[in-house]
Copies of this chain bind each other. A is one copy, B any other.
Amino acid sequence: MARVLTPRAEDFPRWYQDLIAKAQLADNGPVRGTMVIRPAGYAIWERMQAEMDARIKVAGAENAYFPLFIPESYLRREAQHVEGFSPELAVVTHGGGKQLAEPVVVRPTSETVIGEFMAKWVDSYRDLPLLLNQWANVVRWELRPRIFLRTSEFLWQEGHTAHADEADARAYARKILHEVYEDFMVGVLGIPVLTGLKTARERFAGATRTYTLEGMMGDGKALQMGTSHELGQNFAKAFDITYTSAERTVEHAWTTSWGSSTRMLGGLIMCHGDDNGLRVPPRLAPVQAYVMVVKSGDGVTEAAVKLRDALRDAGVRVALDDRVDTPFGRRAVDAELKGYPVRVEVGPRDLAAGNAVLVRRTDGSKTPLPVADVVSAVLAALDADQQALYDGALAMRESRTVDVTTLDEAIEAAADGWARVPWSVVGVEGEAKANARGVTVRCLRRADGSVPDSEDEPELVAIVARSY
């Protein structure tokens, strides 16, 4: 097969761009840093949304929608928040043909405007917890954009909740971390994310604690795949979110926020993609089985249609490619690029022997098998390959993660992967030193892998890496 993409080993960033272009996942938009998500990419995002949304609802949050435009003054109410986001804001100064009395910003995130409404809606302790989520676009002006990873506009979900006390807020921020994000990323995306606590330096602007999920990409770098924040009473005080307790005292609420975005598409590509294109884990894939008519022939299309229908009846997300006017090789390359988990190739020669060919994207295997066995073979392959992709990603992460005991060793190890190093030997000063060399503390974890409550806990492990 001719070389379609720049090989990863040759130039990983170039491979990434090639893949996005050739698999027709996305394009650069006309305004710098914006992107067009093409149908092949958007279908994957829709599957991400469906899986995440179901988990968010099980966690008890309800979807709502808050305005795109936020008065500039709202952002200024929380000091760290405005400091963090000011450099990235897009500002609308004119509307309806006139200059606006007060400029409005295009939301970079919605803590402020949602805080304003939480204050209106929350009255008594009976109104808590208030659990909201929205699916929306947000804008953060990007000077060094890269499709899916850093774009001036991106799509995401942002959850915002208010609680009666810190313990409840913390439990919920962690519930989202594990039961929504980790469960989805491990179980559907097939990415063995590490969960942990961000250091103060890496915390969200306005948060008291930021929990994160970090995935290793094919070049050994880390990608922050999602974050869940405890906001303490910072926004509750800035927006006056108070409630009357059962004891009739007036208290400030405790809030959280948590988000995951189209950045996950970048993570999917860089974790599972190979030199032939994307590999989409079966549970995520919008098209799990791609039935291809190799070329015209007696009863070939009919057999393919029957297989398509049988697979659909078995609950498989399936598409039929009967474009026999387009060369088969070109269609096969495209199917590889798009990463459909399995292909079922139906051609005159094999069919004459009662066979079709099962091609698995994960390992590239091609197996002729009786037409009657296709459905069960596809189902088995989808299960096995979901696991195989996860196992492969885990093996990669483990092979590229080293335990070290000094900061210098950690920085060195980060050239090619991740380092686990005692947080006590890094500390705030070491972190600044690492940052100056392009290396960051991705998260802090306890020795047993659980997520700490504070960076001051003893014997924490820092995960140190280069990152996107």
Report A's interface with B, CB cutoff 8 A. Answer: 27, 29-31, 34-39, 42-43, 45-46, 62-71, 74, 86-97, 103-104, 106, 113, 116-117, 120, 126, 132, 136-137, 139, 141-143, 152-153, 155, 325
Contact = CB atoms under 8 A, between A and B. Distances in A.
B65 A43 contact: no
A142 to B, nearest CB: 8
Q: Is the interface of A mostly helix, strand, loop or mixed?
A: mixed
Contacts of A87: 96-97
Contacts of A43: 62-63
A45 B62 CA distance: 13
Contacts of A136: 137
A34 B69 contact: yes
Contact of A30 (B67, B90, B106): B67
A30 B103 CA distance: 12
A117 B31 contact: no
Contact of A94 (B37, B91, B120): B91
Given A91-B94, A96-B141, 11 more contacts: A29-B113, A36-B117, A42-B63, A43-B63, A46-B63, A67-B153, A69-B139, A88-B96, A89-B96, A91-B93, A92-B106
Contacts of A96: 87-90, 141-143
A132 B34 CA distance: 19
Contact of A67 (B31, B93, B325): B31
A362 to B, nearest CB: 26
Nearest to A24: B121
A126 B326 CA distance: 10
A186 B210 CA distance: 48
Contact of A70 (B30, B86, B94, B120): B30
How many copies are assembled?
2
B106 A66 contact: no
B95 A90 contact: yes
A108 B311 CA distance: 42
20 contacts: A27-B120, A29-B113, A30-B70, A30-B116, A31-B104, A36-B117, A37-B65, A38-B64, A39-B132, A43-B63, A65-B155, A67-B153, A68-B139, A69-B139, A89-B94, A90-B94, A92-B92, A95-B152, A106-B106, A136-B137
A30 B64 contact: no
Given A42-B64, A63-B43, A92 B95 contact: no
A171 to B, nearest CB: 22
Contacts of A69: 29, 31, 34, 90, 139, 152-153
A46 to B, nearest CB: 6
B91 A95 contact: yes
Contacts of A153: 67-69
Contacts of A64: 36-39, 42
A94 B64 CA distance: 29
A325 to B, nearest CB: 8
B86 A30 contact: no
Contacts of A35: 67
A390 to B, nearest CB: 28
A45 B113 CA distance: 21
A97 B63 CA distance: 32
Contacts of A88: 96
A27 B97 contact: no
Contacts of A30: 67, 70-71, 74, 113, 116
Contacts of A68: 34, 68, 106, 137, 139, 153
Contacts of A74: 30
A106 to B, nearest CB: 7
A62 B39 contact: yes
